[in-house]
Structure 1
């Protein structure tokens, strides 16, 4: 099993829990959508700041500016970000990168649910053709063995947990 396959398999339950936590937000309603974005804005900035400090990540494109712009268009300020303990470990960065970049896939689908006239630059910031495949291949190439994969999985699970916590406290 490749590292990217291990990440997918090992984090499936955490991913499902985050999806369930965010399902409570009504994206067709201005207030519900603003609450959804606010929840994301509590966790995305600290995670992206950690990822930006890891030069090995291919094609990392922060979405915090798009998220801030969408919130501003809704008359909302960026919230105080969550305080999280992010390990300074390349394997952990790859695990968090997997979560953040994987969320682009779901974001594009969620963007279709956003009511017309509401800003959706954050959710619409998807991957280009083949980008997700390239990211998975880069994760697999960075893998140095079982310990590396275990650290990446642990970080991905933590990252999913932070997103879940932000959904509860970010509204």
Structure 2
């Protein structure tokens, strides 16, 4: 197996082992009607209970690839809808650098789905959060960095990346359900 195949294998492992958690989150959030103001506010609040928590956690790691937070955009959209910003969920933060890389994979990857969802918003709804611009090539650079680190740092590091991604997916899932009640 050559180096490129080995790198792709690491990223494939991340995608495959987190697919079920990712699909669960997508399914939970698919129940929100983004054309309804009340439902859209609940959707944003579900994100607001998690995103600042994860972004603050990521800021505690010095060696992560470059990323841009979106919590303030989320705060802006909720304020535009005359809604309070909810408190974040409780969470036992992982301390491994690999886990943080997995968390970054989840929140940065969510930008891709957000662009699609922004096209489903009700007329006149604020969309700073969902339509946040992403620097050209940043997603592919992040994936490349994840691949490289997963290969270079070994299987235990890969396990940490996967565990971190799963933990963040689980937070979003729990939050999605909490706002549907």
- Which TM-score applies when normalising by structure 1? 0.95
Q: Are 1:158 and 2:167 counterparts?
A: yes
Give the superposition deviation at 1:80: 1.0
- Which secondary structure state, in structure 2, belongs to the residue aligned with residue 61 of structure 1? coil
Runs of at least 5 residues in structure 1 that lack an aligned partner in the other structure = none
Alpha-carbon distance in 2 for matches of 1:3, 1:148? 11
Instruction: Note if contact 1:34-1:71 (Cα within 8 Å) is conserved in structure 2.
Output: yes
Q: How far apart, in 2, do the equivalents of 1:126 and 1:6 lie?
A: 28
Please give the secondary structure, in 2, of the residue aligned with 1:170. helix
Measured in 2, the distance between the counterparts of 1:127 and 1:139 equals: 18
Q: C-alpha separation between the residues in 2 aligned to 1:152 and 1:84?
A: 17
Superposed, which structure 2 residues align to 1:6-85 within 5 Å? Answer: 6-85=13-92
CA RMSD of aligned residues (A): 1.2
Alpha-carbon distance between aligned partners in 1 of 2:61 and 2:10, rounded to the nearest angstrom = 18
Give 5+ residue unaligned stretches, structure 2.
1-7
Count, aligned residues: 171
Question: Which runs of 4 or more aligned residues in structure 1 lie more than 6 Å from their structure 2 counterparts after TM superposition?
Answer: none
For 1:2 and 1:68, locate their aligned partners in 2 and report how far apart those are by CA, in whole Å: 38
Q: Is the 8 A contact 1:105 1:126 kept in 2?
A: no
Q: Aligned partners of 2:88 and 2:10: how far apart in 1?
A: 30
Partner of 1:130: 137
Residue deviations 1:139-165 (CA, integer Å, cap 9, x gap): 122220111101110111111111000
Residue in 1 aligned with 2:156?
A: 147
How far 1:58 sits from its partner (Å)? 2.0
* Counterpart residue number, 1:111: 118
